[in-house]
Structure 1
Amino acid sequence: MNTLKTSLLGYPRIGENREWKKALEAHWAKKISEEELLQQTEEIRLKHLQKQKDKGIDLIPVGDFTLYDHVLDTAVMFGLIPDRIQASGAKTSLETYFAMARGNKEAAASEMTKWFNTNYHYIVPEYSKGKMSLNENKPLQAYREAKDKLGIEGKPVIVGPYTFIKLAKGYEDKELPQFILELLPLYEQLLKELEQDGVKWVQIDEPILVTSITHDEMKTVEFIYKKLNEAAPDLSIMLQTYFDAVEWYEEVMKLPVQGIGLDFVHGGEKTLASLKAYGFPKDKVLAAGVIDGRNIWRADLKKKYDLIQTITAIVPNERLLVQPSSSLLHVPVNVRSESHLDSTVQSALAFADEKIEELVQLAESVNIGDQGKHLFAANETAIRTLAKSEARNRSAVREAVASITEKEAQRTSDFDVRNEKQQSKWDLPLLPTTTIGSFPQTKEVRKARLSYKKGEWSAEKYEGFIEAEIERWIKLQEELGLDVLVHGEFERTDMVEYFGEKLNGFAFTKNGWVQSYGSRCVKPPLIYGDVEFVEPMTVKESLFAQSLTDKPVKGMLTGPVTILNWSFVRDDIPRSEVTYQLALALRKEVEALEESGITMIQVDEPALREGLPLKKEAWDQYLNWAVASFKITTSSVEDTTQIHTHMCYCEFHDFIDPIRDLDADVISIETSRSHGELVSSFEDHAYHNDIGLGVYDIHSPRVPDVEEMVQMIQRGLSVLGPKQFWINPDCGLKTRGESETIDSLKNMVAATAKVRQSLAQKQV
């Protein structure tokens, strides 16, 4: 009998102890040279490849490793380097690369946005006509390195041409054919060189094929792959899709490629139905994504075994690979260091290394036949024990969700009525200035938190330190001239983790880090049980900050949809039900803030849009419960209580209606890297409530000058009324240095004053 083989799509880059992150940040801080950085990251990369080999993966991906972002790698490889970066004085190719990602003193960074519906950020390619060339064949370099140094016959991974084009900016629809015709020869050359070097399989990622592309777009894909196949006819292409079912199944099956990767987890029911209805080409290999590459729970291996049996009835073992549903980039490295967790939770977890073991175990069980099912005993026990736990069966929480009414998701009065009362109460100047919430988390802040967690500091000493930081920054904000202040969030490690630690139903890892953008890693909480409010979470710090100033201080919460989307979520009940549980818990916190006298409250939803399904026909269902959850959280307050929210990078031109439906009194939007594009959205879609369009990019260390921000504000005022326009940075300032934060805010306030003066002169 032919044996079933295993494959991976990608592996976490960051290292078991975030060695990758530490090397990058040491280089940026000029503590290690470029040569030392490259040496250290090579060691990390080879260690990861060796681990996959040792664990028994048959087809190991190479080229998925990066020094910042794999989409940025592709853009640089093809010479798509913006003119402003070329002219910014970077002395080496690596400096140029990092300048595109992070900006420098002379040039702004390229736009950054979310990778499909994940919390991973990619750098948006910027097309410039006639600029492209194949500067270096990175996939070939990765293949040679793995083969020469480890004896691994790797599978080079490449961002697919149509996905790359669709994710890029800088061209109009009429210029798309030109873009394709310029890009295709570079892909053809790249594949020819791989073929000439003896590469057997190359993985070309085309997740764009699971989105709602049109039939005409699918025709373009057919043209592209016809050309690629002609360029390298002896190279086996694995056309890889993930995150959902492909939109045009029959057409994808006919593409001239040698293998097709399909997701049998996300959109898996539709994928399996298409497989049963239309079959699978007899001349192609199916790479079946059967293990969830995006969540951290053990797979039900008995169900996965049965799924594979269903698949093998259509596609025999010799033409089948089993693999995760996506790259393991989206999960932590391994569970080994999580022994502090309750055994019921820990035994139910599977991070990247454990998912590899699950894959190998599944393949082994299929290869030895029905008797292989005995391998699943421990797996079944772990899943069953968690399902029966008290944490997953809180009847009061379930009953509260079941009894939610439509009235609970509506403010008492319309915005116009509320706005008039709030204007009277707050008496803020035109173009009020504020920040998004967090201030720099210095080494001293992190050291103090660690000392407290280790028990080296008493609660009294730690609280005194936090209060001193709050007092210092309240004073700084007043000196800067900001109109609405924040307490700075110095007590919070993370905007999601902080709240999860204070609610029932959450667990936290010690080393469960995943990459968010660049070297920025996050440690998502685990929502493993029913979510329940315990006691007020933010009132103490907010009240202390307000006691120090006559200016309003915003209470700061993370919204229910963001907590959901930035956590690893239980997979035994619908995500909508988990979100309603979160909304009811956070509603109690909003009410506690209001009752204590904090009546300007920000409930951040930076991740609302990233949770959108990839297929537009599923948007309404998601938005209905997502928007309702935000409104359940915020709607029980008085008219005079002003509700703020914040949203991160996303394409807003098709998202104005849901923003309006949130009915927040003030929304701030992270827009500086794509400011003009968002502003143009408001030329076509009127927005009535108050809004702040981020006027400078907090993801870059550069300090924008006053005139730059004046232009940003004036562009916003071209489509928004001055009475509805707030001035703020793009996002929270947690990751920035103190001096650059103060300088940037000083310039922001100065720019606002300049625009106010200009508006006043026009009124005279």
Structure 2
Amino acid sequence: MRKHNLGYPRIGMDRELKKAIEQYWEEKIREEQLFKSAKELRKQHWILQSELDGIPCNDFSFYDHVLDMSFLLGAIPDRYSPLISLISPIDLYFSMARGYQKNGFDVTAMEMTKWFDTNYHYIVPEFLPNQTFNLHGTKIFEEFNEAKEILGKVPKPVLIGPVSFLLLGKEKLEGFHRIDLLDRLIPVYIEIFKRLKEQGADWFQLDEPFLVMDLSEKEKHAFLKAYEHLTQEDSGIKILLTTYFEGLYENRSLAFKLPVSALHIDLVRCPNQLDGILYSFPKDRLLSLGVIDGRNIWKNKYSVSIEHIKKAANVLGKERLMIAPSCSLIHVPFDLNLETDIHPEIKDRMAFARQKIHEITDLCCIFEGNTLLLKENSKSHKRSVDSTIIHDSGVKKRMASTKEQDFHRNSTFESRRPIQRECLQLPLFPTTTIGSFPQTSEIRKFRANFKKGKLSLQDYEKEIETSIKDVIQKQEQIDLDVLVHGEFERNDMVEYFGEQLKGFLSTKNAWIQSYGSRCVKPPVIYGDVSRTKDMTVRWSSFAQKQTKKPIKGMLTGPITILQWSFVRNDQLRSETARQIAWSIRDELLALEDAGIGIIQIDEPALREGLPLKKNNWNKYLEWAIHVFKIASSGVTDSTQIHTHMCYSEFNEILEYIAKMDADVITIETSRSHMELLEAFSRFKYPNEIGPGVYDVHSTRIPSVEEISSLLDQATRLLPAKNIWVNPDCGLKTRKWPETIQSLKNMVLAAKKARREFINIT
């Protein structure tokens, strides 16, 4: 059986890529130093996979693999044309992701959104009716030669398939469908194939994740057309078509018609698709079994995977099988060996990217008769069944005793609103931020020193208090209406809560890429979840004492904590989410008791958790909204509940968003130019909305006029009395000078809007 991988983490063992990129952005290193660091990382990663038969190349990226494809295919939006002759190719590439505001130019970044139902963000390709494509750049060809030289064998180039590339993008003008651009796109793919074939390539991995989605007839036809053209010449290339995150099911016959050499399926997410696949699998191709979980950190259960492999081998023969992870390993951390403080009983159940590569080899050995590996693996799984570390009878008893009234606010929004307005006394177009403020190197340093024991608790708390006083003063000078404490004590909006909830563990080095140089360290949910102490009350209360303006308490919602953690796989995700919700509810009530009258429960991952198939949406949304309402209910009518969601398409789930019954929802709308508000307007969303008026993932500073224009668009779609004014997202990753100026411009734009709507109550 052929052993292969679909993609490897890019960031390095110690986030070397992140550090090099950010140094380059800050002009601390030159371009050649950045490229040297990246080349060394690629070498290390290829060597770590050398035991495999099929090792991917071109899976490395400086920012995002979808942006890489846009760049390679020459799909560079026209607004960047003046920069092409002004800056280097790598700076042009970064400007597409981050915007460019220098040398008299002010160019906005491309839109960013979630990669299917993961927390990875990709840069959305932009398409026009007259869109052209051309081979642009040499990255894929250079990295192929690099890998071939280092490995001493032919690597497997990885590209996003042509149909999925188009479907990942967005039409920037009306009157055409991006799939109509296929005829112009295919010749560039053929050119790439020919050039790589000349360099010695034989296998090509084309990722077509949309093949597991609900497809229109037009999109199905596009798949047939694309692959007929790609393989029409007898070029000798072998295409491995990869699908993941869902099962093929109704698209199975379509996949079988595509003239490819091998097909990859995800048997971790959808193991029950195997029987249907084997029943009518084409005799002229190989089947790649994705049996290693590419999205979670738990050790593979070899007995289950071997059962799938044996079933497939009995039908197809082992020579027609390929063994792989379910998807690219960019969604899991680098190496479990770097973790030294995890309880042995829990660590014994875990596997990171490096270990998952070994699991592929183990499965092949077990299939060939190595029973010792199978026995050792079975022992690990058996030990967890009755573990008191994992199972908590008190939590299970509480879950069983909940009542219907626990899931609802005391009154309707229309009844709560006048009470809240009387208590808060806020102006029209109230201004606020999403929660976090810039985390400088000094803040990160003293937080790290505290964790390492180099700073006492007393000195640490004094530093946090100083930072809070400073940020309150800055917000008052900017003249924001609702203030926040800045979240200086938090390393990450999910990891922070994971460090304090029972049933979670935090790691030292389990970093994964969220977008660009932004890395997160998701906590691990290994057992039943409960809250044993206050988590945020100390700092929100301290902040409120520093000002007469209202302070907004900041909590992360149960669905986002679930989605952005590595979740235990021995019970339903909905049950784990319910346990988290009760813990967040306890904290919510503690904040209210401490006098905090506005509390935000961030749920940016609610939309992200949607199943990829629409016929599964209702079941998920019902329990997800139910879980949010457990967390947000219990407070009095005077307490205003906010929620925040970003970089998501809500059009088709607004009915459920309304059922959340948050008093205020804040959303991302600046990169999409208020496009999302049209859906809220058509739906007649009843509660208050804070459409993000500037992009926090770009270094550029929006002008007052730019923000005023967005607010003007918002008032055409929503009642002015329902509109809040805020950035798209938290400001943690920004620098102070740009943050202050951007917020000043935002406040000036809000005041301008108030003057124009002075008579509206």
Q: Is the 8 A contact 1:667 1:690 kept in 2?
A: yes
CA distance in 2 between counterparts of 1:504 and 1:149 reads 45
Residue 234 of structure 1, aligned match among 233, 236, 261: 236
C-alpha displacement of 1:763: 6.7
Q: What is the aligned partner in structure 1 of residue 563 from structure 2?
A: 565
> In structure 2, what is the equivalent of residue 516 of structure 1?
514
Distance 1:152 1:404, change over 3 A: farther
Q: Deviations over 1:111-146 (max 9, x none)?
A: 011111111111001113243211235433322221
Counterpart contact for 2:71–2:93, Cα < 8 Å: yes
Indicate if the aligned counterparts of 1:436 and 1:646 stay in contact, CA closer than 8 A.
Answer: yes
2:735 aligned with 1:737: yes
Counterpart for residue 117 of structure 2: 117
Establish whether residue 314 from structure 1 lines up as the match of residue 315 from structure 2: yes
Tell me if structure 1 keeps the 8 A contact 2:720–2:760: no
Q: Which amino acid aligns with 1:168?
A: G
- Letter aligned with residue 178 of structure 2: L
2 CA distance for matches of 1:531 and 1:116?
A: 27
**TM-score normalised per structure 1:** 0.96
Q: 21, 41, 44: which is aligned to 2:41? A: 44
In structure 2, give the amino acid aligned to 1:17: D
Partner secondary structure for residue 681 of structure 1: helix
Question: Match for residue 488 of structure 1?
Answer: 486
Q: Is the 8 A contact 2:301 2:381 kept in 1?
A: yes
Return the letter of the residue paired with 1:615.
K
The TM-score normalised by the length of structure 2 is 0.97
Rounded to whole Å, the distance in 1 between the matches of 2:199 and 2:464 is 59
How many corresponding residue pairs?
753
| 1:132 paired residue number | 133
Report the 3-state secondary structure (helix = DSSP H, G, I; strand = E; otherwise coil) of the residue aligned with 1:611: coil
Structure 1 CA distance, aligned partners of 2:653 and 2:91? 36
Please identify, of 385-394 and 748-757, the stretch whose mean Cα deviation from structure 2 is larger. Answer: 385-394
- How do 1:406-555 residues align onto structure 2 when only pairs under 5 Å count? 406-555=404-553
Unaligned runs of 5+ in 2: none
Secondary structure class of the residue paired with 2:608:
helix
Q: Kindly indicate whether residue 293 of structure 2 is the aligned counterpart of residue 297 of structure 1.
A: no
Q: Which of 122-131 and 690-699 deviates more?
A: 122-131
Alignment of 1:52-67 (within 5 A): 52-53=49-50, 56-67=51-62
SS at match of 1:314: helix
1:712 alignment counterpart: 710
- Compute the displacement of 1:457 (Å): 1.4
Map of 1:99 onto structure 2: 95
Match of 2:674 in 1: 676
Q: Secondary structure at the match of 1:675?
A: coil
2:204 counterpart of 1:202: yes
User: CA–CA distance in 2 between the matches of 1:676 and 1:558?
Assistant: 25
Matched, 1:281 2:253: no
2:394 match: secondary structure:
helix
Question: 2:553 & 2:179 partners in 1: Cα distance?
Answer: 50
1:389 maps to what in 2?
Answer: 387
- One-letter code of the match for 1:251? L
When the two chains are superposed, the root-mean-square deviation of aligned CA atoms in Å is 1.5
| Partners of 2:678 and 2:83 in 1: CA distance | 28
Spell out, residue by residue over 1:47-80, the C-alpha distance to the aligned partner (whole angstroms, 9 max, x if none): 1111211xx1111011101111110010011111
Amino acid at match of 2:401: S
- Report what 2:375 is aligned to: 377
Per the alignment, residue 759 of structure 1 pairs with: 757
Provide the residue aligned with 1:328 in structure 2: 329
Aligned to 1:643: 641
User: How far did 1:153 drift?
Assistant: 0.7
The CA deviation string for residues 334-364 of structure 1, in whole angstroms up to 9 with x for no partner, is 1011121110111111000100111101111
3-state SS of the aligned residue for 2:107? coil
CA-to-aligned-CA distance 1:241-276 (integer Å, 9 cap, x gap): 11110241122112111110111111222x213124
**CA distance 1:133–1:708, change in 2 (3 Å):** same
Offset at residue 147 of structure 1 (A):
1.4
1:302 counterpart SS class: helix
Question: Is the Cα–Cα contact under 8 Å of residues 171 and 178 in structure 2 kept in the other structure?
Answer: no
Unpaired segments of 5 or more residues in structure 1? none
Letter in 2 for 1:165: L
Sequence identity, in percent?
A: 47
Conservation of the 8 A alpha-carbon contact between 1:693 and 1:726:
yes
Contact 1:192–1:231 (CA under 8 A) maintained in structure 2: no
Matched, 1:260 2:263: yes
1:20 to 12, 17, 20: 17
How big is the shift at 1:655?
2.6
Q: Is the 8 A contact 1:280 1:314 kept in 2?
A: no
What amino acid does structure 1 have at the position aligned with 2:201?
A: V
Q: State the 1:231 CA deviation.
A: 4.1
Q: 1:462 to 1:176 in 2, by over 3 A?
A: closer
> Hey, what does 1:600 align to over in structure 2?
598
Assess if the C-alpha contact under 8 Å between 1:279 and 1:314 holds in 2. Answer: no
Distance 1:232 1:412, change over 3 A: farther
SS at match of 1:672: coil
Return the letter of the residue paired with 1:508. S
The corresponding residue for 1:188 is: 190
SS at match of 1:673: coil
What is the alpha-carbon distance in structure 2 between the residues aligned to residue 410 and residue 69 of structure 1? 41
* Amino acid paired to 1:208: F
Q: Structure 1: which amino acid aligns with 2:127?
A: Y
Compare 348-357 and 132-141 and name the one that shifted more.
132-141
Paired residue for 1:84? 79
Deviations 1:312-345 (A, max 9, x none): 1122111110000000010001101112111011
User: How far apart, CA to CA, are the structure 1 residues paired with 2:147 and 2:575?
Assistant: 45
| Number of the residue aligned with 1:157 | 158
Structure 1, 475-484 or 387-396: larger mean CA deviation: 387-396
Taking the TM superposition and a 5 Å limit, the aligned residue runs for 1:645-660 are 645-660=643-658
